[in-house]
Every structure is written in C-alpha cells, then in structure tokens.
Amino acid sequence: MPVKNRLAELHEEITAWRRDLHAHPELLYETHRTSAFVAEQLKAFGCDEVVTGIGRTGVVGVIRGRKDTQGRVIGLRADMDALPIVEETGLPYASQNPGAMHACGHDGHTAMLLGAAKYIAETRNFDGTAVVIFQPAEEGGAGGKAMCDDGVMERFGIQEVYGMHNWPGIEVGTFAIRPGPFFASADHFQIELEGKGGHAAKPHETIDTTLMASHLVVALQSIVSRNANPVEQIVVSITSFETSSTAFNVIPQKVVLKGTIRTLKPELRDLGEKRLKEITEGTSATFGGQAKVKYYRNYPVMVNWAEQTDFAAAVAASVAGECREAPLIMGGEDFSFMLEERPGAYILVGNGDTAMVHHAEYNFSDEAIPAGCSWWAEIVEQRMPVG
C-alpha cells in the first residue's frame, strides 16, 4: 500500500495514542481528558495556533504551509466521543471507564488525524492553511452543529471540509465513498399514551394502553409500506416500550414508546414526522385514549458534494490503489452540519472483518492507521499543491 513513509514510521506511536484513547473513553461533551490530550499533542507538533473550547470541548489546530499564495484553507475533521456501552472485548487496553466504550472507532479517527497533523506540521509541503478539527458529541449530541454555531468555519476561514469514518466489512486500509446523500437524517420521537388503568381481570373497565400501543407499533410501519415510495429509503423503528406498571395483573394507565425515523430526502423527513403524528392521534382516539407526541429533528441527511467527492476518491485511489462505491447508510452522522456550511466530502476507510460499530465486541483496526493518515495528509497536499 503506497502510504507515506513518514506515516508508516509513526504507525507505532499513533497506535499507542489510539490505545490510550480507547482505554479512557468519554461521552458526548465530557471529552475533557481527550480534548486536553489532543491540544497537548497539537502544541507539541508546533501547530501555528491551537484553540480549545469551540463547541464546548472541541479543539482546533491551525497549520500553515510553506507558502500561502492563494489563501486556500482546508478543514479536516475527526470525532472524539465514545458510546454508553459496556465493553466486552477483553483487550489489554479495554475501557477503564465503566459504562463507556469506543465502540464506533472515534479513538481511531482522533489518532489518525493527530498522526496526519504531526506529518503536516513537520513537512508543511502545501500552499495554504490546514485546519484540523477535533469534535465532541457526535454520538447524539450534535457536536458538529455546536462547533459550527461557535463559528468554526468563519473564524478559521475554512473553504472546504473533509471527514472520515472506519467501516467494518470493508478490507482494511481500502476506501469507499459516494456523491450526494450518503448518511440518513436521524430524528427521534417519544409517544406518551394514556388510557384508563385497572385490573387485568376486568379489561372492559379499562382503556387498555398496552393494546393501544401494540396496534400503534404495527400501524406506524404503514409509513414505510404504504406512504413512502417503495424505491426510496425510510426507516421507522420503535426501540422502547415502557409501561407505567410492571405487575402481571395490572393494565397500566400509561405507555411510553420511543423510536427513530431515518430518511435520505428532506421531503421524506417531513412525511415521516407528519404521518407519525397523524397515525398516533388516530390510533389513540380509536381506543378511547389520548396521546402526546414529542418529535426531535436531529441530524440532517449528510450530502457529499460532487466535485469534492471526486477529489476525495482520487486521493483515496492514490493511497490504496482504488476507491470503491460506498453503500447508502441509514445511520446518522453529524458531519452533515459541516457539509451544510461548506463544500466537502466524507469517506469510509476499511476496518476489515470485525464486529460492526456500536457493538460491545467492536475494536478499531490499528492496521488502518497508515492509510487513514495518508489520505488526510494527501487531501491537504494535493488540494493545495506547492507550485
């Protein structure tokens, strides 16, 4: 694999960073140790500027090239936060923080961008400015939006932005990407149903919320099967069913349902929210109950820009020999907020035959590090070449 020689030399050091981060996972915006580690490393690399506290606990490093004749500024983004999962890998560097785990590979993303930053700061073989962005709270906290709201793009003059995610099932160190919609919007909802509780032996004296909720769970799937165009992607998942009583002989007064809707088009996102509310109100009324719906619009569809996607794919091919077409992914990704503000692209780097992300036995493959670091470094050097 034609990775950069210097980054191959740094492989062991970057792996040590990654495993240290893996052992000390932090959730959402509470990435205090991770952020401090990142800032310390960036300062040691000799970055021209290191700024903390953007998007609460985000860190930004600025590296100026040996020339700046055109004023080009490229942003590179990695996420830092972990997931609330109990790790089951048995690794010697497994999580030391109970209930938290780097189960999505953000430890690897952070370490790879640090490796690229070290190389870029050493060589400065480009004409312009590279801005490395380390973001908290990707896992449901919209840290990308928080950094954008704090003006990260304007403050550092970023003109284009690029991101990367590891992906199990793709050969280690190879790449995959697609233009246009790539990751789905990720909304969630809570439905509170209220009826009339009572004794399970006298259902006729109650308004049975469990029956009401059961019908609603089934009815909501009609959004996918009967409201959306069959050739378009939409997912409706009920992920939690909680009753106000756990007794075997009580019909509960209340039931709370929670779930998520994922789509790849804004109009489908609108349809999903509209029909969820209509079906919920209609179903609860049919059974004589009441319903309250709370709907939360979280991450928008992540859309890769065409020109930047072609460029990112060409860079990946120069590193790995080829770049494949990635599948559509119904998971959410808050890099979408950055791509709404600036042109850019998001790519997948292979993690090999491992457990899938968000699994208690997942582990980032350290063998992907040289390729990932090289891709980020080449993005800077090829997009802002020294004439």
Residues pairing with 59 in the sheet: 52, 134
Write the CA distances from 27 to 177, 256, 297, integer angstroms: 28, 26, 21
Percent of the chain with pLDDT over 70: 99
Residue ranges, comma separated, of all CATH 3.30.70.360 domains in the chain are 185-299
pLDDT tens per residue, range 107-157: 999 999 999 999 999 999 999 999 999 999 999 999 999 999 999 999 999
* Mean pLDDT confidence for 170-195: 97
Q: List the one residue out of 370, 387, 379, 374 whose CA is nearest residue 311.
A: 379
CA atoms of 256 and 265, how far apart (whole Å): 28
The mean pLDDT value of the chain amounts to 97
Would you state the structure tokens that stand for residue 82, as one six-digit string?
């972990």
pLDDT at residue 4, rounded to an integer:
77
At residue 163, what are phi and psi to the nearest 5 degrees? -135, 170
Structure-block tokens of residue 134: 């380390």
Asked if 103 contacts 28 with a C-beta cutoff of 8 angstroms, the reply is no
> What is the mean pLDDT of the segment spanning 26-48?
98
C-beta separation of 51 from 59 below 8 A: yes
Annotated binding site for Mn(2+): 104, 106, 139, 165, 358
- pLDDT tens figures, 268-313: 999 999 999 999 999 999 999 999 999 999 999 999 999 999 999 9
Is the torsion defined by CA of 152, 156, 162, 166 positive or negative? negative
* Model pLDDT, residue 387: 82
Closest CA to 104 of 334, 378, 371: 334
User: Which pLDDT value is given to residue 85?
Assistant: 98
Classify residue 92 as exposed, middle or buried by CB count within 10 Å of its CB (0-12, 13-18, 19+): exposed
**pLDDT band at 2; cut points 50, 70, 90:** low
Binding site members:
104, 106, 139, 165, 358
Residue 192's beta-bridge partner residues?
Answer: 256, 292
The Cα 115–Cα 287 span in angstroms is: 60
C-beta neighbour count of 328 within 10 angstroms:
12
Tell me the β-bridge partners of 283: none
| 381 pLDDT tier (thresholds 50, 70, 90) | very high
How many Å apart are CA 387 and CA 385, to the nearest integer? 6
Q: What pLDDT sits at residue 1?
A: 43
Q: How confident is the model at residue 246 (pLDDT cuts 50, 70, 90)?
A: very high
Residue type, 244: S
Which CATH code is given to the segment(s) 185-299? 3.30.70.360
DSSP string, 318-381: HHHS-EEEPPPB-S--THHHHHHHS-EEEEEEEEES-PPTTSTT----GGGHHHHHHHHHHHHH
Distance of alpha carbon 240 from alpha carbon 122, whole angstroms = 50
Strands (E), the chain: 49-54, 58-64, 73-79, 129-135, 160-168, 175-177, 180-183, 185-194, 198-199, 234-243, 250-251, 254-263, 290-299, 302-304, 323-325, 344-352
Could you tell me which residues are beta bridge partners of residue 256?
192, 242
How much is the pLDDT for 325?
A: 98
What is the C-alpha separation between 68 and 130, in angstroms, rounded? Answer: 11
pLDDT mean over 23-45:
98
CB 47, CB 56: distance < 8 Å: no
- How does residue 333 score in pLDDT terms, banded at 50, 70 and 90? very high
Residue 248 burial (CB count, 10 A): 6
The pLDDT of 176-188, averaged and rounded, is 97
pTM score of the predicted model: 0.95
Rounded mean pLDDT, 338-354 = 98
Homologous superfamily (CATH) of 5-183+301-383 is: Zn peptidases (3.40.630.10)
Which segments of the chain belong to CATH 3.40.630.10? 5-183+301-383
Residue type, 282: G
- Total residue length of the chain: 387
